[in-house]
Amino acid sequence: MISKSESYTSGQESVTNSTWLIYILKEWIGLDYHYPNCMGSFLCVSLTIFFFPHLLWFFICIFCNICLHIYKRKNGLDDDFSNKSWDNGRLMVSRIISMYGKLWHGYEVHGIEKIPEGPALIVYYHGATSIDYHFFVCNLYIQTGRVSYSVVERALRMIPGLQLYLKLLTAVYGGREQCVEILKKGNLLGVAPGGARESFFSDENYGVLWGNRKGFAQVAIDAKVPIIPLFTQNIREGYRALGTTWFIRWFNERFQLPLVPEYGGFPVKLRTYIGDPIPYDPNITVTELVEKTKIAIEALRDRHQKLPGNILRALLERFDKHQKDD
């Protein structure tokens, strides 16, 4: 048994990080240190069970990317995604993602008829992951045939194995001018003003964390399009970030890291609610439009989300046939 007071000097046998972790967990849960293999197996199994559903989503995206590469090669396509020949590939991926959402989360989308036929800026609350927005985009395409461009973090460009999938679902990495141009061409565009900050540091109370971000409102005014508010019930119960812990928050803000530890993938009930459009008003200011949009999303949250969120309750809602009115 290793004493807590025993010091490890450079002359002693080195202790691996895994051994330190096992020792610490032994102290916490009282397992005997003389069985490292058993403890290591316990740790691996526990982490696999805990994080597997979250990793499953990533693997599904990679699977979709592989399917698209096969589809591209079989049909001799290039990267011109406006080509109608890509439509079946886009529908294939949308059905895979939609099926996953339906099977794992019982996913539903309500109010899709509120989306206008012309261009619009879709503004949504960003959970610990944007998986709900992927479900929404895919269901939108299946039901209406419309593609929604999506403003995403530039860091996603660096993730291998996802690029064709992101391109086909029309990820946008550019700035304000590109967004305005997309909308002026009559397209839908989705954006989460809270971005990574809202993803990392919001919690089960679903606080809208936009800070001083007003760019999306300026885009809507410049493009003269309405804003469509969007909120997904239980997204914080399905996937959670550890950004609210004081050390991780301090560490992240000090070093400006583009990620925080996350966990979850719990099969909670997810419902996306689409609010009434906020029409274009030539006389409204950017600040007023930001506030109006924020109030609209908070109204959707207050109507459809029980606060604070609770994982067990969200799981039980999978079996609840009753739901709040749209």
Could you report the per-residue pLDDT of 93-148, keeping only the tens digit for each? Answer: 999 999 999 999 999 999 999 999 999 999 999 999 999 999 999 999 999 999 99
Average pLDDT, the chain: 84
Q: How confident is the model at residue 23 (pLDDT cuts 50, 70, 90)?
A: very low
Cα separation, 57 vs 230, whole angstroms? 22
Q: Which of 34-48, 147-161, 215-229 has the least mean pLDDT? A: 34-48
| Domain residue ranges in the chain | 41-318
Which residues, including other chains, have CB under 8 Å from residue 125's CB and lie 6 or more apart? Answer: 192, 194, 198, 206, 208, 230, 231, 232, 235, 297, 301
Mean pLDDT for 168-195 is 93
Helices (H), 75-123: 87-105
Strand segments, DSSP code E, in 140-223 are 148-151, 171-172, 188-191
Give the pLDDT score at 168: 87
Give the pLDDT score at 301: 98
41-318 is a CATH 3.40.50 domain: no
Catalytic site positions = 126
**Quick check: 174 pLDDT over 90?**
no
Phi, psi of 232 (to 5 degrees): -110, 120
Which tokens go with 148? Answer: 């929604």
Burial of 229 per CB tally in 10 Å (0-12, 13-18, 19+):
buried
Contact 243, 200 (CB under 8 A): yes
